[in-house]
């Protein structure tokens, strides 16, 4: 329930890697509850460079990002500050927040397999490791192995099995590709619809986006979502998250906004806007997302995965993954 407006003359400034229209229901609710105005600047590219240039003059109080790669890069660039809050620790499970309290997750998406409804049998793919099995020769499509989403998956493979095994796996996946890596995640689903491949690696939320697009709905209807797991692990997830800027001019308001965004009700609204999964205890995805099936998320802390990013990118280049 939204409480009556408090008498507070204040503001909070957000640098967002996600479009403001996806945040508006939440920022409006926050302002109604607290009286604090929220100013959102959408920064698609160059966020770190901009904040470095602004230095102590930066107006940013809160930073919102859409993946662990950017979250960890912002922390590494010394552009955030720790927030110690019992509320945040209650709302955000340990694997979805920085161990040093520099960032906190808001929603997750799984890196899954889109499978042809007609050419892939139930149970034919159960693990990420199986993507390197020769039975998939000429049947897999994916975007560039150097894209952040795939680098994160390879980083997780390193975290689970070590660099040598991850490199062997990546080579095996390359051998099974139906075509040179290209396009975005939705382009891979289109390739399945067109009969170019049977399996594609992608994020869950693209299914929701495709179903809303008259042209792409036919692509989406040609596939079903499978939730592979790591051997002795769960399904790989990435996270959208929030952090407090190092030089936040309105720190008290920033903390209030971060705590609000991680609340169960706010997480459900935020996740639903982009067909993602809320992460607070007791929260549920919207009905469409729930219809894709349930999965057990891998329990590795995302910062433990992020630390292997450089190694993952290097072995991707060593196997020349993008030059099928």
Higher-pLDDT residue of 310 and 324 is 310
Whether 187 and 312 map to the same domain: the answer is: yes
Q: What's the rounded Cα separation, in Å, for the pair 322 and 306?
A: 21
Those residues with Cβ within 8 angstroms of residue 35's Cβ, 6 or more apart along the chain or in another chain? 5, 6, 7, 8, 9, 10
**Residue 28 is assigned to a structural domain of this protein:** yes
Res. 8: pLDDT tops 70: no
Answer positive or negative: Cα dihedral of 130, 133, 135, 139.
positive
What's the number of domains the chain is made of? Answer: 2
Whether 16 and 56 map to the same domain: the answer is: yes
CATH number at residue 43: 3.40.190.10
**Residue 293 is assigned to a structural domain of this protein:** no
Whether 303 and 171 map to the same domain: the answer is: yes
**What pLDDT sits at residue 258?**
97
Per-residue pLDDT reduced to its tens digit, 33-81: 999 999 999 998 899 999 999 999 999 999 999 888 889 999 999 999 9
Paired strand residues for 127 = 229
Those residues with Cβ within 8 angstroms of residue 17's Cβ, 6 or more apart along the chain or in another chain? 42, 43, 44, 47, 64, 65, 66, 70
**Residue 290 is assigned to a structural domain of this protein:** no
Per-residue pLDDT reduced to its tens digit, 200-242: 999 999 999 999 999 999 999 999 999 999 998 999 999 999 9
Whether 39 and 117 map to the same domain: the answer is: no
- Both structure tokens of 32: 């109604």
Whether 181 and 303 map to the same domain: the answer is: yes
Whether 190 and 306 map to the same domain: the answer is: yes
Residue 189: give the domain boundaries.
109-236+299-318
H helices of the chain, in order, are 20-34, 47-54, 68-76, 86-91, 148-161, 163-175, 185-193, 205-211, 217-221, 251-261, 264-273, 287-290, 302-306, 309-318
Whether 124 and 21 map to the same domain: the answer is: no
- Both structure tokens of 145: 């192995």
**Residue 176 is assigned to a structural domain of this protein:** yes
Q: Compute the average pLDDT of residues 145-159.
A: 95
**Residue 151 is assigned to a structural domain of this protein:** yes
pTM of structure: 0.88
**Residue 291 is assigned to a structural domain of this protein:** no
Whether 183 and 307 map to the same domain: the answer is: yes
**Residue 4 is assigned to a structural domain of this protein:** no
**Residue 142 is assigned to a structural domain of this protein:** yes
Whether 44 and 174 map to the same domain: the answer is: no
Whether 254 and 171 map to the same domain: the answer is: no
Whether 84 and 226 map to the same domain: the answer is: no
**What pLDDT sits at residue 248?**
97
Whether 167 and 75 map to the same domain: the answer is: no
Confidence of residue 244 (pLDDT cuts 50, 70, 90): very high
């Amino acid at each position: 329930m939204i409480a009556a407006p408090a008498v507070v003359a204040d503001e909070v400034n957000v640098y967002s890697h996600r479009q403001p229209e996806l945040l508006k229901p939440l920022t409006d609710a926050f302002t109604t509850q607290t009286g604090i105005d929220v100013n959102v600047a959408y920064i698609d590219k160059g966020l770190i460079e901009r904040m470095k240039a602004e230095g102590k003059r930066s107006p940013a109080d809160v930073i919102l990002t859409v993946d662990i790669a950017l979250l960890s890069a912002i922390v590494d660039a010394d552009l955030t500050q720790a927030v110690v809050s019992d509320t945040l620790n209650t709302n955000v499970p340990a694997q979805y927040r920085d161990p040093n309290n520099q960032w906190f997750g808001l929603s997750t998406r799984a890196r899954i397999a889109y499978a042809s409804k007609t050419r892939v049998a139930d149970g034919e793919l159960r693990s990420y490791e199986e993507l390197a099995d020769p039975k998939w020769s000429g049947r897999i499509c994916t975007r560039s192995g150097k894209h952040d989403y795939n680098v994160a998956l390879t980083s997780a493979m390193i975290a689970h099995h070590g660099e040598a095994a991850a490199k062997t796996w990546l080579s095996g996946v390359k051998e099974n590709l139906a075509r040179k890596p290209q396009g975005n995640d939705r382009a891979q689903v289109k390739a399945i619809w067109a009969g170019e491949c049977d399996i594609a690696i992608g994020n869950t939320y693209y299914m929701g986006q495709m179903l809303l697009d008259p042209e792409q709905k036919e692509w989406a209807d040609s596939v079903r979502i499978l939730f592979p797991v790591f051997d002795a692990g769960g399904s790989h997830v990435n996270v959208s998250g929030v952090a407090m800027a190092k030089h936040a001019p309105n720190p008290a308001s920033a903390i209030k906004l971060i705590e609000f965004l991680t609340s169960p009700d706010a997480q459900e609204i935020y996740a639903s806007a982009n067909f993602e999964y809320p992460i607070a205890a007791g929260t549920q995805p919207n009905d469409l997302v729930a219809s894709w099936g349930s999965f057990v998320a891998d329990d590795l802390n995302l910062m433990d995965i992020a630390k292997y990013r450089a190694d993952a990118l290097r072995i991707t280049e060593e196997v020349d993954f993008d030059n099928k």
